[in-house]
Structure 1
Amino acid sequence: MKNILKVKSKYMMVGATVALTLLGSCSKDYLEEVTFGEVSPSEMTKAENVEKAIISAYSVLNGQIDGASNAYNSPASNWSFGDVVSDDCYKGGGGTGDQNQIHQMELFNTSPTTYDVQRKWMALYEGVKRTNEAMKLLNASEDFDASLKTQRTAELRFLRGHYYFELKKIYNQIPYIDETAETVSDYARSNTEFTSEQLWGKIEDDFQAAYDVLPDTQEEVGRPTKLAAMAYLAKTYLFQDKWQQAYDATTLVMGGSYGLMDDFQSVFLPENDNGQEVIFAVQYSVNDGQSSNYNGSIGDRLTAPGGPYYSQYGFHRPSQNLVNAFKTDAGGLPVEDNVDVTDTDFVDPRLDITVGRPGIPYKDLDVLYEDTWARDLATYGPFGPKKRILSANSPYHVMVWPYVDALNYYIIRYAEVLLWRAEAAVELGNLEGARGLVNQIRERAANSQYVQTLDGATDAANYNIATYDTTWTDPADARNKVRMETRLELAMEGHRFFNLVRWGIAKDVIDDYLSVEKTRRSHLTNAAFTAGKNEYWPIPQEYIDSVDDGLVTQNNGY
């Protein structure tokens, strides 16, 4: 039984008793006061109710914010915002008309009225709102244990830092509202009130404040630890190219109890998803009494691969380009030629842990993955997601609607910290340090359990991976190797597009990708990435319409 922070339905909305919404169903309704739950305001500062308000701030980490089952339009995993719009994935599903708004995102034809753009904004600001309201209730409570109050405040600052980090990396110029907001007008804020640097500074402040107070360990593993706050601070530095600060922050994280698990595939099992490699995660659970299993991976419920064991939604399909990226040479190093992998090619063993490929066993189901599992093979090709899909045999997988499971979504895992440190090392001129860090990742992959044939007699493909044994002397080449390793290690985890943007190479990479991929997948014919626009999503039109004219500035190009 996973020991997680519970978010039962009775706790989900209590913390918003006096809260204000930033985004609603229409126009000015965004700024209307909405009352939830059945606890009166006079009762809200009692310790037990303050705790419920804090739980409500955690509960929207999974992107589920109401009674609908459409958290797939605001997924915590960012499979649509971070993978589908990158060179790693296609939308998938039943053709371009199925969730057409995500198809438009894939073509870089997003608009301020795109449903997912609005829904993601809504979910993240709901998280901001709940953390702010919980902070106010906590501060006002007279019977809350004083020492625990300090810790809970730090947890809330961590959560607020997370929600704002997500908003910043997706929308860039955003309104910033803290716990001092009291009235409707306090929530009608300009998105240019603070500069980009100032917004990052506020996010840094939340994570630093959390680090200063949080304990080294938590009894309930869903709550952040001291080093989780430092890891997130390192990520915040990384997105600003603050290389020395990022490097120093990772030093602290690496000095703690986190580390790589021995086996790559085992990282993505519910039995291990609060293990030594997972620094902070969205906690999922199933069969826990929550209606419709909304505490499960509700945002990812469309990503099931189809076939005889799974639902036929069929979204989040790996691209041919991603599959080709796992090709290796005779020495076990990446090839990077984007020539389609054949049965005789050497491949990185992480390929068949990450991607469902025809003729390769799928999980422990004693069956080969087939291209016919794909819901729309003609449009989206033969490959399916695999890394974050649970075996249908797992007790943590629900075989009935809404087809969710209890595999946590890892917001930060230790392998990322090593790769961040490697990035910073390259930029600081420590190329050999970067090589050693990348080699830790590759050595773990090399020593992991490889996918076997159905009879268990041999490897299912020509797996071949090795460490970099030659000294790194060229910064540009070292930088490329770190970025390549980041792609391979984190594929299908929702990070790729955001990495391309922060590296400043999104336009070049996506143009190269589309130039070839359009010859493979006709649904991409009209796709075109516009530099200076498509790095970020538009500010939702409904938010603009809900505040005073001229208060909000739309992102460039929309």
Structure 2
Amino acid sequence: MKNKILVLALAATLAGCDKDFLDQEPKASLSSTDLNNLAAVEALITAAYAPLGGQIDDANNAFNSPGTNWTFGDVVSDDAYKGGGGVGDQNGMHLMEIFLTNANIIDVDRKWRAGYEGVARANRAIQAVNNFAGMSAEQKTIRLGELHLLRGHYYFDLKKVYNRIPWVDETPRTITEYDIPNNLSDAELWKNIENDFLLAETSLPAKQADLGRLTKGAATAYLAKLYLYTKDYPKVITKVDALLATGLYRLNDNYHDNFDPSKEHGPESLFTIERSIRDGTPSNYRGSLDERLLNPGGPFYPVYGFDAPSQDLVNAFKTTAAGLPQTDKSDVGTNDSVDPRLDHAVARPGIQFLDLAPYAASWVRDAGTYGQFSFKKRMVSSRSTFYLNQFPWVSALNYDIIRLADVLLFKAEALAETDNLEGARTIVNQIRRRATNDQVRNADGTPAARYNVAPYTAVWTDPEVARQAVRTERRLEMALEGHRFFDLVRWGVADQVMNEHFAREKSRRTYLSTARFVKGTHEYWPIPQTQLNLSKGLLTQNAGY
């Protein structure tokens, strides 16, 4: 791991034209003399936030290292196809989708570099804060809390993707001492990340004056997520309860409020990637660069069309007459009832697309390869001031790394796994009741489809039925938010789900005919070849690559 030189880049900022602590003039570098200045130290802290969105250089291909994980979480799952202009368009992503990944793919390399860029910046800022005498003890505690939470996030993301990763803390090192093996055990890595989160939780305030700064709630939520990944279910429940007890967080009234840039920093938002456009940054690099390929095409957007929702995902939103998930995998027909969250997440022919027009299959770039659906969930209207209707075609919509519905489903899962089935049902029903409030409407105000979603009325008595209901609800609520593949892996079902998915899909998506998930290999991605070459033999490649 060779992040040995800190370059202070522009940070991501708050959406729209609002100003907050992240709006700063760029500096090329900082000397040790500069770090005797409070503004310079604060600039280093700001810089540690910047890689959250995956932008690490002066290129516009943050989509190869997305902070939203749309490639590493959606495209390689049963929720989405790569999309775009055929299998040769961003061919590395295609190889990832069919699990022919190799260590030289640009996405594999850039995701690693983005994560460790974040680690390097957090470590440098921690050093600067610790060594700076011109900051009050209270302020120093808060800033260190932010930095440890950021570092913990970067490592958590790297752990999910690569599993076996080298750990570098803020200890000053010589150049050669940065050559570190990836030989820590799972338990050791999770413990290190947990320690960062625990320090953040005890150091951060419940609220910060500057919008976008991390808070205690974000740390508590991330601890709940870590305990979910490590299957420490009682601690998941304890942390979620502690978060709810603050009274600061609740579900937004409407599902789509989570994806409306005019309603950001609402009661459901816990940890976000802050974005802005038209803020003077060269090429609008603080916008949603990591998702600029998700524009659906058609008359209102450039024709990119990546992260195309799968038929399998659309079918998952089909509901029974009782308003519950229909699990038979049959294709949704025009007369079928569906969960309204479908039409907030997926663009379907004939369904209104934001405030623009009914979506048409002709908007699709390559329907013959990837089908008729397009990504919709975090699209901002091309008429909105929060959308940049010119290259690089990005928006100022923030992305929630963690939102409250996510956290509530952590608890539901933990309750189901500890035999509190009714507690799990109560939470799932809370999520489902919110879904009834927000139907997509036609231009004349009528519902755009046959919407029917309802809570589970029958008591849950079978643990396996409860487990599957919670997992289904998680898929529906968090669809296309970059989580699905990681969920399949931590549940231990990735090989079964993905190979069954390929068996069903290969008749309609012929490029998937050779796709195969190998258990014990494909749960994680290869260590980039560039890093192996630089490590002088200290990094060990993941199994099967």
State the TM bucket, normalised to the shorter chain.
Answer: over 0.9
Structure 1 partner of 2:155: 164
State whether residues 167 and 174 of structure 1, in contact with CA within 8 Å, keep that contact through their aligned partners in structure 2.
yes
Aligned pairs for 1:322-401 within 5 A:
322-365=313-356, 367-401=357-391
Aligned pairs for 1:260-271 within 5 A:
260-271=251-262
What amino acid sits opposite 2:377 in the alignment?
K
Tell me the distance in 1 between the aligned counterparts of 2:132 and 2:367.
57
Structure 2 partner of 1:453: 442
Residue 512 of structure 1 pairs with residue 503 of structure 2: no
Which of 393, 402, 408 in structure 2 is aligned with 1:403? 393
SS at match of 2:270: strand
SS at match of 1:411: strand
Tell me the distance in 2 between the aligned counterparts of 1:132 and 1:219.
24
State whether residues 4 and 283 of structure 1, in contact with CA within 8 Å, keep that contact through their aligned partners in structure 2.
no
- Note the C-alpha offset of 1:145: 2.6
Runs of at least 5 residues in structure 2 that lack an aligned partner in the other structure: 1-15
Tell me the distance in 2 between the aligned counterparts of 1:45 and 1:545.
37
SS at match of 2:308: strand
Structure 2 partner of 1:490: 478
Tell me the distance in 2 between the aligned counterparts of 1:424 and 1:510.
24
State whether residues 259 and 397 of structure 2, in contact with CA within 8 Å, keep that contact through their aligned partners in structure 1.
yes
Aligned pairs for 1:251-262 within 5 A:
251-256=241-246, 257-262=248-253
Residue 553 of structure 1 pairs with residue 532 of structure 2: no
State whether residues 2 and 271 of structure 1, in contact with CA within 8 Å, keep that contact through their aligned partners in structure 2.
no
Aligned pairs for 1:125-524 within 5 A:
125-192=116-183, 194-256=184-246, 257-365=248-356, 367-446=357-436, 448-456=437-445, 458-524=446-512
State whether residues 129 and 140 of structure 2, in contact with CA within 8 Å, keep that contact through their aligned partners in structure 1.
yes
State whether residues 113 and 540 of structure 1, in contact with CA within 8 Å, keep that contact through their aligned partners in structure 2.
yes
Tell me the distance in 2 between the aligned counterparts of 1:75 and 1:159.
16
Q: How many residue pairs end up in the alignment? A: 529
Runs of at least 5 residues in structure 1 that lack an aligned partner in the other structure: 15-36
Tell me the distance in 1 between the aligned counterparts of 2:443 and 2:420.
44
Tell me the distance in 1 between the aligned counterparts of 2:120 and 2:534.
17
Tell me the distance in 2 between the aligned counterparts of 1:199 and 1:452.
47
- Note the C-alpha offset of 1:454: 2.5
Give TM-score scaled by structure 2 length: 0.95
- Note the C-alpha offset of 1:294: 0.5
State whether residues 21 and 211 of structure 2, in contact with CA within 8 Å, keep that contact through their aligned partners in structure 1.
no
Tell me the distance in 1 between the aligned counterparts of 2:82 and 2:22.
30
State whether residues 272 and 402 of structure 2, in contact with CA within 8 Å, keep that contact through their aligned partners in structure 1.
yes
Structure 2 partner of 1:31: none
1:225-273 CA-to-partner distances (Å, cap 9, x unmatched) read: 1111000000011001110111111111111211101111122101112
SS at match of 2:82: strand
Tell me the distance in 2 between the aligned counterparts of 1:224 and 1:84.
29
Give TM-score scaled by structure 1 length: 0.93
1:145-204 CA-to-partner distances (Å, cap 9, x unmatched) read: 332111101110000000000011110010000000422122210001x21101000000
Tell me the distance in 2 between the aligned counterparts of 1:465 and 1:234.
28
Tell me the distance in 2 between the aligned counterparts of 1:5 and 1:181.
31
What amino acid sits opposite 1:453 in the alignment?
N
State whether residues 9 and 291 of structure 1, in contact with CA within 8 Å, keep that contact through their aligned partners in structure 2.
no
What amino acid sits opposite 1:219 in the alignment?
A
State whether residues 266 and 272 of structure 1, in contact with CA within 8 Å, keep that contact through their aligned partners in structure 2.
yes
- Note the C-alpha offset of 1:42: 1.8
- Note the C-alpha offset of 1:512: 1.1
Larger displacement relative to structure 2 (177-186 or 84-93): 177-186
What amino acid sits opposite 1:519 in the alignment?
S
State whether residues 259 and 377 of structure 2, in contact with CA within 8 Å, keep that contact through their aligned partners in structure 1.
yes
1:463-515 CA-to-partner distances (Å, cap 9, x unmatched) read: 00110000000001100000000000000100000000001110111111111
Tell me the distance in 1 between the aligned counterparts of 2:343 and 2:19.
30
- Note the C-alpha offset of 1:144: 2.2
- Note the C-alpha offset of 1:10: 3.5
What amino acid sits opposite 1:212 in the alignment?
T
What amino acid sits opposite 2:400 in the alignment?
Y
State whether residues 17 and 279 of structure 2, in contact with CA within 8 Å, keep that contact through their aligned partners in structure 1.
no
Tell me the distance in 1 between the aligned counterparts of 2:209 and 2:511.
49
